A and B are shown apart, each in its own frame.
Chain A
Amino acid sequence: MNEELLRLIERNSRIDIKELSVLLGKSEIEVLNDMQKMEEEGIICGYHTLINWDKTSIDKVTGLIEVRVIPQRGQGFDKIAERIYKYPEVKSVYLISGGYDLLITLEEKSLREIANFVYDKLATLDSIQSTATHFILKKYKDHGTVLTKQQEDEREIITP
């Protein structure tokens, strides 16, 4: 595992091998090998892009749905989680400690579509006890990146 490499590509997955090799002080072959190995081991699961959809003309609504589940004998939460994550509009599914069990993020074009998903698909599943749906109003920071403002260099002129 190469932690420094992971930190670099977590911030910028488009960075090329040549640059990585310079920044890490390793040969390109070494970097390629490291990456390939981490891909095979499932440490690197994908190379995504962080998009601020609010700046486009495309309508997107993100819902966070808390779900309480009756775990099934022998399978715990895994089976119900799988049934849920198979829907392509479901962006993430987490098992959560605390007052509820699963946290689902859902991306749709409108509030109505999210509502439809919840009462048509989700709430009708057998082992689901209850749901609570929240809508995201504004994203300030996502994946470690601040979306709301550009950072500026605040350093003043000083000597020595």
Chain B
Amino acid sequence: MTKPISKTVEALKKSGIRKFFDIASEMKDVISLGVGEPDFETPWHIREEGIYSLERSKTFYTSNSGLKPLRSAIADYIERTQGIKYDFNSEIMVTVGGSEAIDICLRAVLNPSDEVIIPQPSYVSYEPCTVLAGGVPVIINLKAENDFRLTAEELKSKITDKTKCLILPYPNNPTGAILEGNDLKEIAKVCIENDIYVLSDEIYGELTYKDKHISIASIEGMKERTVLINGFSKAYSMTGWRLGYACAPQHILSQMLKIHQYAIMCAPTTSQYSAIEALKNGDEDIKLMRESYNQRRRFLINSFRKMNLECFEPFGAFYVFPCIKEFNMTSEEFALKFLEEERVVVIPGTAFGESGEGFVRISYAYSIDKLKIAMERLNRFVEKLRS
């Protein structure tokens, strides 16, 4: 065959995270702080419910939008945590991870050349998914001095006639930043004034270490323009189950559901049965995992302080985002040298957008024992660079 394949796809960049894992996989005694995946196993009672569903021969497709009891449990959960009421028949759908929801949301909302505002540093999929949906990514480079919060002014400055949608990635991967009530109100005001949709990616919503996470959809006038995306991967440590969901006004959700029908059919059945158990009896699991993450977070922040490494205190997700500008290297050079000399994987901030230059992402989805060794190595590395 000589005919060219899709130019759009060929033009997509490869993810910047991959490269470091490939190098690391060739080395011995490497500590990876690169993974964006919880280290806990899925709680046993949740797994057990999946096994039980198999024993009862629940091996068929579910309805396209997902099992009714699951959608109903999602509706209860959102009402209980955010005070927002969604109709589980017309406003909630179950997806293959939060990532599918992001993809189909953008495809359902965008017309060619519609602009999507993406604050960065952020999750690496928003930009390619926007491009694949025919949209135009408009990047906001978030600032370290604002602790990587999105401000209403920054948002305003990027709005044009073509702005269709804002992606709101909080609690944030890779910075660990969160938005609080007042930040959200200001942003909501701008969205309402300019009539733009919001894709609110709240996959880390259960992992905050200050106040409870607030969804922008809970602010008046926002539910009708927000697609709230969440899932089970991070909160319940269920990454491999591939299960997420979207809550949105019916006129958007019904269109998302069409794409989901044609491309996916339905999310995995076994996972859906387990997820019901997670939502119903998983609060204590989340509490204990959150407690562990918080201890590790404090440990890392304390270690950075001791080595005089600049880092704002993040209150969400399971990442810290220290600044490495003092070493006069790019993030990529720093991460590469650190890996080569000390055998620790961290991800250069630039993997998450240009504004990540001068920072690296460190995941604390690792045991304290591993983090301790990694921080000893980082300390040694930093001292060497400074001398």
Contacts and interface: CB of A to CB of B under 8 A. Distances in A.
Given A7-B291, A160-B15, A160-B124, A155 B35 contact: yes
Contacts of A24: 295, 298
A23 to B, nearest CB: 4
A140 to B, nearest CB: 14
Q: How large is the interface on A (under 10, 10 to 19, 20 to 34, 35 or more residues)?
A: 10 to 19
A39 B155 CA distance: 54
A160 B21 contact: no
Contacts of B298: 22-25
B302 interface: yes
Contacts of A22: 298-299, 302
A158 B291 contact: no
Nearest to A151: B41
A160 B99 CA distance: 10
A4 interface: yes
Nearest to B22: A157
B17 A160 contact: yes
B39 A159 contact: no
B295 A23 contact: yes
Given A4-B291, A7-B291, A159 B302 contact: no
Nearest to A153: B39
A25 B295 CA distance: 8
Q: How large is the interface on B (under 10, 10 to 19, 20 to 34, 35 or more residues)?
A: 20 to 34
A4 B25 CA distance: 36
A155 B294 CA distance: 21
Given A4-B291, A7-B291, A157 B25 contact: yes
Interface string A1-35: 00010011000000000010011110000000000
Nearest to A18: B302
Contacts of B277: none
B285 interface: no
A23 B367 CA distance: 13
B291 A155 contact: no
Contacts of A155: 35, 37, 39
Nearest to B295: A23
Contacts of A19: 299
Nearest to B99: A160
Interface in B91-126: 123-125
A4 B302 CA distance: 19
A137 to B, nearest CB: 24
A7 B22 CA distance: 37
Nearest to B370: A153
A13 to B, nearest CB: 15
A40 B142 CA distance: 51
Interface of A: 4, 7-8, 19, 22-25, 153, 155, 157-160
Given A159-B15, A159-B124, 20 more contacts: A8-B295, A19-B299, A22-B298, A22-B299, A22-B302, A23-B295, A23-B298, A23-B299, A23-B368, A25-B294, A25-B298, A155-B35, A157-B18, A157-B21, A157-B25, A158-B37, A159-B18, A159-B21, A160-B123, A160-B125
